[in-house]
Amino acid sequence: MFKGIVNACLVTYYNQNADDREYVISAKDLTTVGPVEFLQDLAVAATIGADHIERNGHHYFQGLRAFPEEVQQKILSAHPDLYRCHDGDFVTLQIEDGTLDLDTIINAPFGVAPLLDICQFTPLIEWVSITR
């Protein structure tokens, strides 16, 4: 988050002081998916004005399919502008003309709503022991 804000400040500074060059911010996610990190990432991008972002993570991981149905439905209910039900019976991004609607992200605390019960997810210690 802070790196994005610093880079946005640098771009603004350079654009105000550049001779004939225009500086831009770009972003790419590849593996950033919901239900929390992706929403936070979108909130930061919207805040710093990055409006051209390559969003592949949801396509590689089939939206929110990896998460329990309850989580998918909570996210869909809280962000019907951003998500939709896919024909494959999972929640995925609602992309229209190459854009995402971020109204509910911008209105949620740091992009995240609703708060999720983290007890339903695999504890970090179990992930760490799997990777060793």
- What digits encode the pLDDT tens for the residues 63-87? 899 899 999 999 999 999 999 999 9
Residue 79 inside a domain? The answer is: yes
Q: Tell me the CA end-to-end span of the chain in Å, nearest whole number.
A: 29
Residue 122 inside a domain? The answer is: no
What pLDDT, on the 0 to 100 scale, is given for residue 93? 92
- Which residue segment(s) compose the domain that 15 sits in? 2-116
Structure tokens at 23: 């500086």
| 94 in Cβ contact with 86 (< 8 Å) | no
Lowest mean pLDDT among 71-80, 109-118, 119-128: 119-128
- Collapsed DSSP state (helix, strand, coil) of residue 48: helix
Residue 78 inside a domain? The answer is: yes
User: What CA–CA distance (Å, rounded) separates 50 from 5?
Assistant: 10
What pLDDT, on the 0 to 100 scale, is given for residue 123? 82
Helix, strand and coil percent figures for the chain, each rounded to 5: 45, 10, 45
Q: Could you read off the pLDDT of 11-47 as tens digits, one per residue?
A: 999 999 987 889 988 777 667 778 888 888 888 888 8
Q: What residues form DSSP beta bridges with 92?
A: 84
Quote the number of domains for the chain: 1
- Collapsed DSSP state (helix, strand, coil) of residue 84: strand
Residue 73 inside a domain? The answer is: yes
What pLDDT, on the 0 to 100 scale, is given for residue 115? 86
What pLDDT, on the 0 to 100 scale, is given for residue 53? 78
Residue 28 inside a domain? The answer is: yes
For 123, how many CA atoms within 13 A lie in the half-sphere containing its CB? 4
132: pLDDT strictly greater than 70: no
Residue 125 inside a domain? The answer is: no
| Nearest in space to 71 (alpha carbons), one of 33, 109, 128, 126 | 33
The whole-model pTM stands at 0.80
